[in-house]
Copies of this chain bind each other. A is one copy, B any other.
């Protein structure tokens, strides 16, 4: 008997902010399992900023999602059926099955999770891709030294909060930039940043200056736009800027006027006169070399409470498009997950 999946498919390429009409909800019949495959039930779907790039046909670091295809995404799933000796029904796994309730995939495309080690949802957050992004980007590109100042925007998000906490563990000062007083308070109280700055405040630039009396040595870049323009003015000579995202630009269209005041030559001038190192990276670059170090270090830090994390869980697959819009607008607080089905490890 075939199994069904409910899917959210991309039906048109969004112009600017993705709308509900860019997606359709539908069901599909899954193929019968062949040897080596497993049938999965989605528990958590991860929503991440990079997905905006995959919705567009414009050049990016990966192929766009085809029109009519299910939106891609990382998931935590339960194995319902298995034709692999390595997976049994009831196993909980990390997979990449996208915006849908069920999927049939090769067992080797899944990684088994042990709920006794860490909550299974963390495999999509602090112990997953966002955590590795923070770890490798900060340590391998940012290279903070004790006493130096590390700044990060979107600091209450899964990447930013890990960046700040790892910076502190390495003896650096951590400056977090976030939107609104609630997030800013959490940066200090929950995540232990040395200073939190609200980019929505009219005194943002002055606040940033006051919080960085010795300038900024590492700016972990994930937003772009006016926040970055303000940070540029505080960068010390030889500062390092790992670039892992440009959220402020993801919804821009070809014709929408950018609000950035700096153009190419002005950016190059800043890079030149401050001897800056600006380095873009995609987390996949570091999986072969740093995944093992990351899992060892980060699991230890999380277990001992020196790295904390926050999750923002939305219930129901059908709310994914709305939640994704909120992500791009900064309305979530913590790692954004969609609970697609019941989590058997929680009540």
For A277, the closest partner residue in chain B by CB is B279
Residues from chain B with Cβ under 8 Å of A116 in the complex: none
CA of A237 to CA of B261 in the docked complex: distance in angstroms? Answer: 27
Task: Say which residue of B60, B229, B262, B272 sits within 8 Å of A243 (CB atoms).
Answer: B272
| Binary per-residue interface labels of chain A (229-256) against chain B in the complex, 1 for a CB within 8 Å, 0 otherwise | 1000000010000011110110010000
Task: Say which residue of B60, B249, B266 sits within 8 Å of A268 (CB atoms).
Answer: B249
Are the CB atoms of A249 and B276 closer together than 8 Å?
A: no
For A273, the closest partner residue in chain B by CB is B61
Residues from chain B with Cβ under 8 Å of A243 in the complex: 268, 271-272
Q: What copy number does this chain have within its complex?
A: 2
Once A221-B268, A228-B264, A264-B229 are accepted as A-B contacts, the answer to whether A279 and B278 lie under 8 Å apart by CB is yes
Interface residue? A260 (CB, 8 A)? yes
Are the CB atoms of B285 and A280 closer together than 8 Å?
A: no
Interface residue? A289 (CB, 8 A)? no
CA of A252 to CA of B262 in the docked complex: distance in angstroms? Answer: 13
Are the CB atoms of B61 and A265 closer together than 8 Å?
A: no
Are the CB atoms of B268 and A275 closer together than 8 Å?
A: no
Task: Say which residue of B59, B60, B266, B273 sits within 8 Å of A258 (CB atoms).
Answer: B266
Task: Say which residue of B228, B261, B266, B280 sits within 8 Å of A273 (CB atoms).
Answer: B280
CB distance from A272 to the nearest CB of B (A): 4
Are the CB atoms of A272 and B245 closer together than 8 Å?
A: yes
Interface residue? A225 (CB, 8 A)? yes
Interface residue? A28 (CB, 8 A)? no
Residues from chain B with Cβ under 8 Å of A265 in the complex: 224-225, 228, 246, 248-249, 252, 258, 260
Interface residue? A274 (CB, 8 A)? yes
CA of A258 to CA of B273 in the docked complex: distance in angstroms? Answer: 19
Task: Say which residue of B61, B262, B269, B276 sits within 8 Å of A263 (CB atoms).
Answer: B262
Once A61-B275, A278-B279, A285-B275 are accepted as A-B contacts, the answer to whether A249 and B229 lie under 8 Å apart by CB is no
Are the CB atoms of B260 and A260 closer together than 8 Å?
A: no
14 example contacts (A-B, Cβ-Cβ < 8 A) are as follows A59-B273, A61-B274, A229-B264, A243-B268, A243-B271, A246-B272, A249-B265, A260-B265, A262-B263, A270-B280, A271-B279, A271-B280, A272-B281, A277-B277
Please give 19 more A-B residue pairs, beta carbons under 8 A apart, in addition to A246-B268, A246-B269, A276-B278: A53-B273, A61-B275, A224-B269, A228-B264, A228-B265, A228-B268, A243-B272, A245-B272, A246-B265, A246-B272, A249-B268, A249-B269, A258-B263, A262-B263, A268-B280, A271-B278, A271-B279, A275-B281, A278-B279
